[in-house]
Amino acid sequence: MKYDFETVIDRLHSDSIKWHVKENELPMWIADMDFKVAPEIIEAMEERVKHGVFGYCEPDENWKDAYVSFYKDRHALSINKDWLLFSEGVIPTISSSVRKLTSVGDQVVVLSPVYTIFYNSIINNGRIVRQVPLLFKDNAYSIDWKGLEEAFKEEKTTLMILCNPANPISKIWTKEELSKIGFLARKYGVVVLSDEIHGEITRPGTSYVPYLSADKENAKMSVIAVSPTKCFNLASLHSSAVIVPDLGLRKRVDRQLNTDEVAEPSTLAIVGAEAALNEGRAWLDEMREKVFENRDEAKEFLTRELPEVTLVDGNATYLLWLNISKVASDSTELLNYLREKTGLILSDGKVYGGNGSHFLRMNVACPTSLLEDGLERLKKGIKSYLSEKK
């Protein structure tokens, strides 16, 4: 590989949320990577810093061109530059959209288990979470179409927040599935907000399906949240884009983003995003190779050393969704036990809704040495837990 994904970067005392840990603890929970950012991005930001002036700025044509080019080249998706809005992040976009596109007391549909902050954005704004639990059979998830249509039919349902591809279950939704979601949403007058921040983290040789490319009709009632921050490890730049093809819907989203004061970028939010989308593609492809090598190594380890834990395999994200139902009935209890006994810090599946109480989430976007350390801690902790429970 041209890029280095094996050197362990010391992130202690770097203001990292993930690495705010005790001695001998290993954090493999929050979704950021332990890889150094692509040198092309660092160089672009360093060059801009040398300019020495950091007054107010706004997205220019180069920023828009970067998104248009990236999605055309990698996903054959044509985006009109007029559709693009700047937002400080996907979550601010979701929260702003919930406030503007729904009313207090409305229902917002999610397919669960799903990213925990979706629930926060709904509940904190006085709306009601309408979970449609995914069906789980033979260690794989699928959409409960009858349940989804019933949820859309309900009078108070006005918005769906879709995770595409799905976090934490690592699933790439198919063109047919996304087309059917769009059809049902239009049939019942429900806007679909598709969070596609994990879209570029897919197994080499595979691609996620952008909601807009699944069916041309999906453009009519949709808001698409995208960002290079997840796939290029740039979370603290607070930089994202919102794609809204419909003019009336775009004006509403734009107004709320500005009302919430999350539509004004920092200098590096623009420079970093442009460099990532234009110059970081080779790094992105190698990162995907490394992440899925890690996923495969973890799967092999679990099969060989820890058959009590089953990986829900998938072709998206660097997040392992670990079925621990044969080990414990309470994911929180096991989570706390693992941290206390081994120092391994994972995410509690319970917070993702659905059947998440039978799962833990593990981030494997890290050098091999950290991955192997984490897997050994997991094995040690699970074996100890099972021994104590006999």
Residues 175 and 33 occupy one common structural domain: no
In tens digits, the chain (390 residues) has pLDDT values of 899 999 999 999 999 999 999 999 999 999 999 999 999 999 999 999 999 999 999 999 999 999 999 999 999 999 999 999 999 999 999 999 999 999 999 999 999 999 999 999 999 999 999 999 999 999 999 999 999 999 999 999 999 999 999 999 999 999 999 999 999 999 999 999 999 999 999 999 999 999 999 999 999 999 999 999 999 999 999 999 999 999 999 999 999 999 999 999 999 999 999 999 999 999 999 999 999 999 999 999 999 999 999 999 999 999 999 999 999 999 999 999 999 999 999 999 999 999 999 999 999 999 999 999 999 999 999 999 999 987
Residues 54 and 192 occupy one common structural domain: yes
Tell me if the pTM is above 0.85: yes
Task: Please report whether residue 5 resides in a domain.
Answer: no
Residues 189 and 216 occupy one common structural domain: yes
Give the CATH number for residue 305.
3.90.1150.10
Which residue range forms the structural domain that includes residue 324?
Answer: 26-37+285-389
Of the three residues 254, 279, 304, the one that is the final residue of a domain is 279
Total number of domains in the chain: 2
Of the three residues 242, 262, 279, the one that is the final residue of a domain is 279
Task: Please report whether residue 367 resides in a domain.
Answer: yes
Task: Please report whether residue 10 resides in a domain.
Answer: no
Give the CATH number for residue 142.
3.40.640.10
Task: Please report whether residue 143 resides in a domain.
Answer: yes
Peptide bond into 113 cis (omega under 30): yes
Of the three residues 249, 279, 309, the one that is the final residue of a domain is 279
- The terminus-to-terminus CA distance of the chain in angstroms comes to 47
Residues 260 and 319 occupy one common structural domain: no
Task: Please report whether residue 142 resides in a domain.
Answer: yes
Residues 381 and 235 occupy one common structural domain: no
